[in-house]
Structure 1
C-alpha cells in the first residue's frame, strides 16, 4: 500500500512539474508582432505598451535592437517607475529561441564584406534600416499616437555600430541614439568613411542636427582600444555641437562587454524619456 501510494505521489509530482515547465512566462503590458522585410526576412517585434494618458504631443518611442536578449530587462525597467511608463518600447528581434541570433544580426547590422571574409553573410545594414523606416515605423505610427520628434534607437555591440552608422547616413531617422559598446573597429574601422561624409554634409549646411544626440556607453572592461576609439569619436563629434549635435561619452565601472546592456536600462530609459540627454 505504501509503495503504491509513493508511486502515485511521484507520478503526480512529475505531472505537475511537466505542466509547469510547459507553461511559458508572459510579460504583462506587452504584445508581439510577426513582420517581414521586403526581401522576406522574418522579424519578431516585441512591444512594451505605454501606460497612462496619451501625451498631447504623442508617445515617445524607443527602438531597441537585439530584442530577444534585451527586451525583458528594458521592459521591466520601464514598468518599475511611473515616470517611465508613458512611452512605447519597440524591441526588434528574430523568430529564434536564442538570446542573440548571431547569423541574422551579423547580416542586419554590418556593411558589405569581401567574399573571403563574408562568413557569416554580411552587408544588410541598409536593408535592415529600410525595413525599420518603411515597414516598422509606419506600423508603429498606425497603432500608437507617436511623437515624431522623440524617436530613439538603442543598440549594443554590432547594434551600437549600426546606431552610429544610422546617425551618419540617416540622421533624420532617429533624434537620439545610444550606442552601447559599439564595434567601431569592425572591418578596419569602416565607419570612418561615412563619418567624414557626414561631417562634410554638416559643415556644408546640408544636415539639420538641431534635435540630434549620440551617447556612447562603454564598459570599463571593454578593450582599451575600443574605449579609446569611442572616446576619440565623441571628441571629433564635439566639433559639430555648433550645428546642434549633442554627444556624450560614459564608461560604466565594473562592467564588461556582455554585462553592460543589463546594467543600463533604467538610466537609458530615464534619459531618453525625460528632458535631459545624459
Structure 2
C-alpha cells in the first residue's frame, strides 16, 4: 500500500510538472518563420518594435531587394508576411513593419502621436503632432539600419498605411516625395483636422507645376471599402482625381473601391493585391 501510494504521488507530481511545462511552452510567443524582430529607439527615446520579413533567394538583378515599410506593424505584419511567403515570386522582398512594444494590435496613444499633425493645446489629448519626428525616425534611423542589414534596391522603397497610417502616407508623399517611390494609402483619414492635408497638397502641386519635383517613378494608390462613410469615400476619390493632373509629370495615381469592406476589415482583405501592385512595378 505504501508503494502504491508513492507511485500515485509520483504520477501526480510528474503530471503536474508536465502540465506546468506545457503551460510554460504555451505562454511563449510564437515566432513567425522567416522573420526577425528589432527593438529600436527614436532620437527622442521612443521605443519601436520592428518586425522584418526576411528576403529569400538570390539578390535580384537590380542589385538589391525591394523594401516595403508597413505602418501599424503589430496588427498588419502577420497577414502581409504570410501573403508574401506563400508566393514564390515575392519571396525576394523585404517587409519592414513598424510597431510598438505592446501586445495589442493598435497602440492608440502612440499612433495618435506618430501619425498626426500638431493640434491646438485644448484638443491635444492624447498628445499629437509627431508626424515629422516619425518620418525622421524612418529616414534617419530605420532606413540606414535596413540598408546595413540587407542589400536594398533604393529605387523600390514603398510605404503602406491604413487609416491614420494612410493619412501619414499621403503626408509623406506631399512633404518628402523622394523618400518612397510608392505609397499605398488604405482608407486614409483625409478628413482629419479640417482636411489639413489640403494645404500640403497645394504646396506639392505647385512644386510639381514649377518643375521642382521629379515624379517620374512615383505612385500613390488609394483604397477604400464601399461600406465606409460616404464622405470618406468621396474625399479619397476626389483626391485621386485631382492628382491625375500631375500625371504629366510622371505621378501615377489610382483609386480602388473594395466591395463589402468597411474601415476595419479592408486592410486585411487587400493584402495580397497590395503586394501584387508594389512588387510587380517595373522601373526600367
The two structures have a TM-score, normalised by structure 2, of 0.93
Distance in 2 of aligned mates of 1:142 and 1:84: 22
1:234 is matched with: 240
Unmatched segments (≥5 aa) in structure 2? none
1:89 is matched with: 95
Distance in 2 of aligned mates of 1:137 and 1:25: 27
Q: Tell me by how many angstroms 1:42 deviates.
A: 0.9
Distance in 2 of aligned mates of 1:12 and 1:259: 42
Query: Any idea what the Cα deviations from partners look like across 1:24-56, whole Å, max 9, x if unmatched?
Result: 211111111111111111111110000000113
**1:31 match: secondary structure:** strand
**2:77 match: secondary structure:** helix
Note if 1:102 corresponds to 2:108.
Answer: yes
Unmatched segments (≥5 aa) in structure 1? none
Note if 1:22 corresponds to 2:27.
Answer: yes
Q: Larger C-alpha radius of gyration, 1 or 2?
A: 2
2:125 is matched with: 119
1:131 is matched with: 137
1:45 is matched with: 50
**1:134 match: secondary structure:** helix
1:35 pairs with one of 31, 40, 57? 40
Distance in 2 of aligned mates of 1:9 and 1:217: 56
Note if 1:196 corresponds to 2:202.
Answer: yes
Query: Any idea what the Cα deviations from partners look like across 1:194-233, whole Å, max 9, x if unmatched?
Result: 0001011110001110000000010111110100000000
Note if 1:214 corresponds to 2:208.
Answer: no
Q: Tell me by how many angstroms 1:115 deviates.
A: 0.5
Q: Tell me by how many angstroms 1:15 deviates.
A: 2.7
1:262 is matched with: 268
2:180 is matched with: 174
Q: Tell me by how many angstroms 1:8 deviates.
A: 6.4
1:150 pairs with one of 147, 150, 156? 156
Distance in 2 of aligned mates of 1:32 and 1:70: 14
Distance in 2 of aligned mates of 1:143 and 1:195: 35
| Structure 1 vs Structure 2 CA RMSD | 1.9
Distance in 2 of aligned mates of 1:250 and 1:174: 20
Distance in 1 of aligned mates of 2:20 and 2:137: 44
Q: Tell me by how many angstroms 1:21 deviates.
A: 2.1
Q: Tell me by how many angstroms 1:276 deviates.
A: 6.5
The two structures have a TM-score, normalised by structure 1, of 0.95
Query: Any idea what the Cα deviations from partners look like across 1:69-118, whole Å, max 9, x if unmatched?
Result: 10000000000110011111000011111110000000000000011110
Q: Stretches of 4+ moved more than 4 A in 1?
A: 4-10
Distance in 2 of aligned mates of 1:135 and 1:19: 36
Distance in 1 of aligned mates of 2:48 and 2:32: 19
Distance in 1 of aligned mates of 2:195 and 2:66: 32
